[in-house]
């Protein structure tokens, strides 16, 4: 596990100091509590910002933005997302070509990307508008899927790219190259390439390492490999990874951030590089990333204490601790 000391890398902890005049709010109304918060959030923002736009159907609006991106003059200064990590990925994808500083207020189960606990929304937004919020520039993945006939499709991912077999078929054989260097062949259920942000998503469930999200690197994690010697790797961010489908007995798909499923077949290749433009997520100041990871993953680090005894330094799950690293 690689984590950064929150007290030292100040050069990486730039504050979001911008005159916020145009705010766009994306809400997932299907989540409990979102509509109740909107009733308070909207007048709060309208008192402080000249232009506030609210989209109650987050996914429908993001589909429109993907096909009809806004003009540069129409972009907001700030995006606020009311939802979970899936909502965050949807919004980031919609603004993939025109990144906008984005703050996520969590109504989901975990909240690695939507980092602000819902009960703390007011203080978090106040910090943003006061110029105290931290900018977390997130590395993204740029992918090109090249078919054996020579056709290609391009995609971007904030979290991960997953080449995986169908549910009712056997293992497949995948090759991995870094540029012109052969790395290995994998006989497995699939292969994950994750960004540092995505290291706590599918890759972690498959046994991959946890990376601090502000660092650079590509995580390569096999899914249920036949050879136990095939372990997850963290490779240089400038690596040009190429995954080739050598032999598959049925359906193979490429999943992009758990969305956009593309079919693959023998002879197809997936080329993955770091995207040249970072995406700016916002977080609260004065962070402790170790507290956040303990809370999000349920780590206790000790035996269960006796009833009524509070462990030193232990905080409530509503503490929003670790905001500056958004783990």
Q: Where are the domains of the chain?
A: 10-138+278-297, 141-274
Q: How far is C-alpha 251 from the chain's CA centre?
A: 26
Residues 6 or more apart whose CB falls under 8 angstroms from that of 151 comprise none
Give the phi and the psi of residue 266 in degrees, each rounded to 5.
Answer: -55, 135
Q: How far is C-alpha 305 from the chain's CA centre?
A: 34
Residues 6 or more apart whose CB falls under 8 angstroms from that of 172 comprise 165, 187, 188, 189, 190, 245, 246, 247, 248, 249, 252
In a 3-state reduction of DSSP, which class is residue 314?
A: coil
Whole-model pTM?
Answer: 0.87
Spell out the alpha helix ranges (H) of the chain. Answer: 34-46, 58-67, 85-94, 121-129, 202-205, 289-297
Whether domain 10-138+278-297 has CATH 2.40.50.100? no
Query: Six-digit token pair at 265?
Result: 């077949």
User: Looking at the annotation, which residues are catalytic?
Assistant: 85
Query: Six-digit token pair at 96?
Result: 């993939």
From first to last of the 327 residues of the chain, give the pLDDT tens digit.
Answer: 444 444 444 445 789 988 999 999 999 999 999 999 999 999 999 999 999 999 999 999 999 999 999 889 899 999 999 999 999 999 999 999 999 999 999 998 888 899 899 999 999 999 999 999 999 999 999 999 999 999 999 999 999 999 999 877 889 999 999 999 999 999 999 999 999 999 999 999 999 999 998 889 999 999 999 999 999 999 999 999 999 999 998 889 999 999 888 999 999 999 999 999 999 999 999 767 777 788 888 887 665 655 544 444 444 445 555 444 445
Query: In CATH, what number does 141-274 get?
Result: 2.60.200.30
Query: One fold for both 10-138+278-297 and 141-274?
Result: no
In SS3 terms, 119-188 reads as HHHHHHHHHHHCCCCEEEEECCEEEEEECCCCCEEEEEECCEEEEEECCCCCCEEEEEEECCEEEEEEEE
Pairing of strands 259-264, 190-194: unpaired
């Amino acid at each position: 596990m690689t984590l950064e000391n929150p007290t030292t890398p100040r050069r990486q902890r730039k504050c979001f100091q911008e005159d916020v005049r145009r705010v766009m709010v994306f809400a997932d109304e299907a989540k409990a509590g979102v509509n109740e918060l909107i009733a308070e959030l909207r007048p709060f923002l309208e008192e402080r910002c000249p232009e506030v736009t609210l989209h109650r159907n987050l996914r429908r609006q993001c589909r429109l933005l993907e096909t009809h991106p806004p003009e540069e003059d129409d972009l907001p200064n700030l995006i606020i997302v009311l939802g979970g990590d899936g909502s965050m990925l949807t919004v980031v994808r919609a603004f993939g070509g025109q990144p906008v500083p984005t703050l996520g207020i969590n109504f989901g189960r975990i909240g690695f990307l939507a980092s602000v606990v819902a009960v703390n929304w007011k203080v978090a937004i106040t910090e943003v508008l006061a110029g105290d919020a931290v900018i977390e520039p997130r590395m993204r993945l740029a992918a090109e899927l090249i078919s054996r006939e020579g056709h290609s499709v391009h995609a971007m991912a904030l979290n991960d790219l997953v080449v995986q077999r169908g549910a009712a078929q056997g293992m497949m054989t995948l090759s991995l190259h870094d540029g012109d260097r052969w790395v290995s062949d994998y006989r497995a259920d699939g292969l994950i390439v994750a960004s540092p942000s995505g290291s706590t998503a599918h890759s972690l469930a498959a046994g991959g390492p946890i990376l601090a999200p502000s660092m650079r690197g590509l995580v390569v994690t096999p899914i249920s490999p036949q050879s136990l010697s095939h372990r997850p790797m963290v490779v240089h961010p400038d690596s040009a990874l190429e995954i080739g489908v050598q032999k598959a007995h049925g359906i193979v798909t490429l999943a992009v951030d758990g969305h956009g499923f593309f079919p693959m077949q023998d002879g197809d290749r997936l080329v993955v590089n770091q995207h040249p433009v970072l995406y700016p997520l916002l977080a609260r100041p004065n962070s402790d990333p170790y507290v956040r990871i303990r809370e999000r993953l349920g780590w206790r680090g000790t035996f269960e204490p006796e009833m009524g005894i509070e462990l030193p330094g232990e905080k409530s799950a509503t503490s929003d601790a670790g905001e500056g690293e958004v783990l």
